[in-house]
Amino acid sequence: MLHETPNNPHSQGLFSVVSLKRNSFFLVQLVLFSFVQYGTIHQIIIPRPGAPSGVGKVILNFGDVTSAMAAQRVMNGRKFAGRTVIATFMTDDQLAAGSLD
């Protein structure tokens, strides 16, 4: 979803349920390593199995719109951990409400 202030790009189904059951520290480090080059990341959310929504997605909160847009533009369609990145945007309101789907 594209919003006029897209600080929160998220990826659709970036991690499988099996990989989400593994070491969460490793997943966060993998995401940081891949995305920090586009700007300052304020928050990383990786919903785990049993979460009410967003399982398999990764939500990144960048410090500014330019960084978020750069990450989305470059990473969309690329392979990451064996899966294709589908990078979209969510609003701050959606993030605050926990509406991650």
Scanning the structure block, which residue is given the tokens 């499988």? 16
More confident residue, 27 or 75: 75
Tokens of 34: 């891949």
What is the tens place of the pLDDT at every residue in 49-95?
A: 887 887 878 888 888 889 999 999 988 888 877 778 888 888 788 88
Q: Which fold has domain 8-97?
A: Alpha-Beta Plaits (3.30.70)
The three-state secondary structure class of 32 is helix
Q: Are the beta carbons of 89 and 3 closer than 8 angstroms?
A: yes
